[in-house]
Amino acid sequence: MARNIPGDIQNSASWRLVFTREAEKDAKKLAAAGLKPKAIELLEILRENPFQTPPPFEKLVGDLAGAYSRRINIKHRLVYEILEKEKVVKVIRMWTHYE
């Protein structure tokens, strides 16, 4: 289940961000790895316009078909779904989509 989480990202713009439990756990790993600023930068972009490029995004296939991915760094990705009717961006993972 996705939930709103308070903190560094405010949901005052046009798209609402919600985070899965896994994404919440990943946020702690990102902070410990020093990647929090880059993740926050990407989340702000998604909050403003999830279709914005740059930075580039890719549409995922397989188990994550329908989701999108943006690079946090060479190894880690921010994986999310866009629920257009609700104007919601559901953040699925913020670590790696290869695990």
- Do 19 and 6 touch, CB atoms closer than 8 A? no
Q: How far is CA 68 from the centre of its chain?
A: 9
Q: What angle do helix axes 21-32 and 36-48 make, rounded to 10 degrees?
A: 140
pLDDT at 1: 53
pLDDT at 11: 46
**Whole-angstrom distance, CA of residue 5 vs CA of residue 14:** 17
pLDDT at 99: 54
Q: What is the DSSP letter of 92?
A: E
SS3 53: coil
Full-prediction pTM beyond 0.85? Answer: no
| Nearest alpha carbon to residue 55 among 78, 89, 85 | 78
- Do 76 and 35 touch, CB atoms closer than 8 A? yes
Tell me the pairing of strands 58-59 and 16-19.
Answer: unpaired
pLDDT at 70: 96
